[in-house]
Structure 1
Amino acid sequence: MEIVEEKNRFALKDGDKEIGEMTWSDAGTERMIIDHTFVDPSYRGQGLAEKLVAKGVEKARKENKKIIPLCPFAKKEFEQKPEYRDVWNR
């Protein structure tokens, strides 16, 4: 499986099949809003959604941005992972 960055989204692919995604929108030049995270039900329970959110955190760090996690799943990840506090725009 691989995660591919496209315009304002990370697509999770298993071969040619897209099995998940995380989307964001830019909020100015210093913030990004994670607004949606999805993994195909048949692939759930493997930590794939967590990997998508982690990829967003990695992108924010690289671009020196803060994240507003509006997606309920992403918000839960930020609440549970203290290591994301450096990029969390609260």
Structure 2
Amino acid sequence: MRENDDRLDKPQEEIIAEKQGNSYILTGVGGTIGEIHFRMIDVDTWVIDRTYVQAEYRGQGLAKQLLDLVVDEARERGRRIIPSCSYALEQFKQDAAYADVWDNKAAGDYADPYSSHSIGATRP
């Protein structure tokens, strides 16, 4: 570890996750820094349609923490999840730990590249 590393001088910012309706919101010193939204499409199924973390907070695992909050709640309530936003879909594809809640019975991918603020979403 370098003694002149700038990260050593900066205090760790406290980030708080709160549930607000069908969302989980991450709040830091300056306000909202990230969020994940889901909606119910039937009594047993949720769609994750938006995941967003401000650019300066990316790479810290915050989006995955948000996703895990939704997945944990879905497990507790016996719900299945359709990952519509590109970030959630990619995580579901990469991590077998989500298989128990993934409603992937329809063919093809669910990602909507036009979802507003989806992490990794590209717009034409």
Q: If the length of structure 2 is used for normalisation, what is the TM-score?
A: 0.70
Report the Cα distance in structure 2 between the residues aligned to 1:88 and 1:62, rounded to whole angstroms.
14
Amino acid of the residue matched to residue 87 of structure 2? F
The structure with the largest helix share of the pair is 1
Gaps of 5+ in 2: 1-14, 105-124
Q: Aligned residue for 1:81?
A: 95
User: Secondary structure, in 3 states, of the residue corresponding to 2:89?
Assistant: helix
Larger Rg computed on CA atoms: 2
Amino acid of the residue matched to residue 74 of structure 1? A
Q: Aligned residue for 2:25?
A: 11
The answer on 1:41 being equivalent to 2:42 is: no
Q: Aligned residue for 2:44?
A: 30
Deviation at 1:15, TM superposition (A): 3.9
The structure with the largest strand share of the pair is 1
Q: How many residues align?
A: 90
Q: If the length of structure 1 is used for normalisation, what is the TM-score?
A: 0.96
Identity, % of aligned positions:
34
The runs of at least 4 consecutive aligned structure 1 residues that moved more than 4 Å come to none
Deviation at 1:31, TM superposition (A): 0.5
Report the Cα distance in structure 1 between the residues aligned to 2:17 and 2:82, rounded to whole angstroms.
21
Report the Cα distance in structure 1 between the residues aligned to 2:30 and 2:17, rounded to whole angstroms.
12
- Greater relative contact order (Cα < 8 A, sep 6+): 1
The answer on 1:63 being equivalent to 2:71 is: no
Report the Cα distance in structure 2 between the residues aligned to 1:26 and 1:49, rounded to whole angstroms.
20
Report the Cα distance in structure 1 between the residues aligned to 2:49 and 2:95, rounded to whole angstroms.
18
Gaps of 5+ in 1: none
Deviation at 1:26, TM superposition (A): 0.4
